Amino acid sequence: MPLHVPPAPAPALHSVLTALGSPTAVREARTPALRAAQGPVTPELPLALHLLDHITPEGLSATRLTGWRFVIRAGDRPVAAADTVLTPDGWAFSHFFEGPYIPSTERALQQAEALLQPYQPRLLSVPGLYMLTLWLHGDPGADPAEGHPAATDLLVPLAPAPPGIRAHRPHRVSELLPVLTHRATPVPLLGSPA
């Protein structure tokens, strides 16, 4: 079943296109592959980027939309990604970057295309664990800026994943959130009050 990738807000896409057209923005980016790209580059595959603010002991989560991420392609290969953020004036370009999360995201999306159930792909960042997941939301028609991970949604940890969590293995939210809750909870030091 194909994934249902909703369009990014037009101002977010426009801000990335403007940055790509700016020699200064591209030259100053820490993305050698983007600077060296030959021919036209295009922003594709917009994914809503949500932040997992906290997980309660009951496994409930609070998330919020923090931006949109675009894969930047030169021809048929990804060379970078671009993030946008919501400011008081609307969507704005944040930065270009490259690294392992770009091919890992593409791999996870290819795996998700083979699933039988339709999903809406999003990204979910878990900053307390330095973890990024592909969040496969079970309601493909939902507003990508809204909602929280449902128990039956899937989370696919992207590489590099934290120790003990296998990258590219889909987990139901109801299975993975308790693990993340345990890992994200600070352990008291010996001799300190619990």
| 21 contacts 31 by C-beta, under 8 angstroms | no
pLDDT of residue 194: 47
| 142 contacts 156 by C-beta, under 8 angstroms | no
In which residue are the tokens 């931006």 written?
Answer: 67
Residue 192 pLDDT class (50, 70, 90 cuts): very low
177's enclosing H/E stretch is: helix 173-184
| 178 contacts 171 by C-beta, under 8 angstroms | no
In which residue are the tokens 């079943």 written?
Answer: 1
**24-38 as b/e: b if 16+ CB within 10 A:** ebbeebebebbeebe
Rounded to 5 degrees, what are φ and ψ at 173?
-55, -40
In which residue are the tokens 């980027």 written?
Answer: 49
pLDDT of residue 167: 96
Work out the average pLDDT over 7-22.
96
Neighbours of 104 (CB within 10 A): 20
- The SS3 of residue 144 is coil
**Tens of pLDDT, residues 95-115:** 999 999 999 999 999 999 999
pLDDT of residue 127: 86
Read off the tokens for 90. 């609307």
Its pTM stands at 0.89
pLDDT of residue 79: 95
pLDDT of residue 139: 94
- Alpha-carbon span 187 to 61, nearest angstrom: 20
**Tens of pLDDT, residues 36-91:** 998 899 999 999 999 987 666 555 567 889 999 999 999 999 999 999 999 999 99
